[in-house]
Amino acid sequence: MNKVFRALRSRKATCPLSLALILLGLFIWNGSNQSWKTPEYGELLPSLPTTPKQLRVVSFNIAKARFHRGSISFEAPEQVDRALDEFAQQLREADAHVVFLSEVVWDSGPRPLNQVRALARKAKMHAYAYGDNYRFGLPFLGIRTGNAILSKLPLKAVSVQQLKGASSIFNPTGNRRSLWGELLLDGEWLRIGSIRNDSFDLANNAQQVREILTEINGEPALLGGDFNAEPTDPSMDAIWTSEHFAEIVRDQPTYPATQPTRQIDYNLAPASWRLIEHRTLPPTSSDHLAVLSVFELGL
**pLDDT tens, 122-138?**
999 999 999 999 988 88
Other Cβ atoms less than 10 A from the Cβ of 163: the count is 23
pLDDT on residue 24? 78
In sequence order, what are the residues at sequence separation of 6 or more whose Cβ sits closer than 8 angstroms to the Cβ of residue 169? 27, 28, 31, 32, 134, 136
pLDDT on residue 5? 46
80 located within any domain: yes
Other Cβ atoms less than 10 A from the Cβ of 260: the count is 18
Q: Can you tell me the distance from the alpha carbon of 55 to that of 74, in angstroms, rounded to the nearest whole number? A: 37
Count up the domains in the chain and report the number. 1
27 located within any domain: no
**pLDDT tens, 191-209?**
999 999 999 999 999 999 9
Q: Is the pLDDT of residue 80 over 90?
A: no
Least Cα distance to 266 among 231, 237, 241 occurs for 231
- Calculate the alpha carbon distances from 49 to 36, 153, 154, 185 in Å: 32, 8, 9, 11
19 located within any domain: no
- Secondary structure class of 262 (helix, strand, coil): strand
278 located within any domain: yes
Confidence at 68, pLDDT banded by 50, 70, 90: confident
86 located within any domain: yes
- Secondary structure class of 4 (helix, strand, coil): helix
168 located within any domain: yes
Residue 148 maps to which CATH number?
A: 3.60.10.10
pLDDT on residue 79? 84
Say which residue, 233 or 8, is predicted with more confidence: 233
Q: Is the pLDDT of residue 1 over 60?
A: no
Mean pLDDT, residues 224-236 taken together: 97
24 located within any domain: no
Q: What percent of the chain has pLDDT over 70?
A: 93
**pLDDT tens, 168-189?**
888 888 899 999 999 999 999 9
Range of 159's domain? 33-296
135: left (phi over 0), alpha (psi -120 to 50) or beta: beta
Contact 137, 109 (CB under 8 A): yes
Confidence at 11, pLDDT banded by 50, 70, 90: low
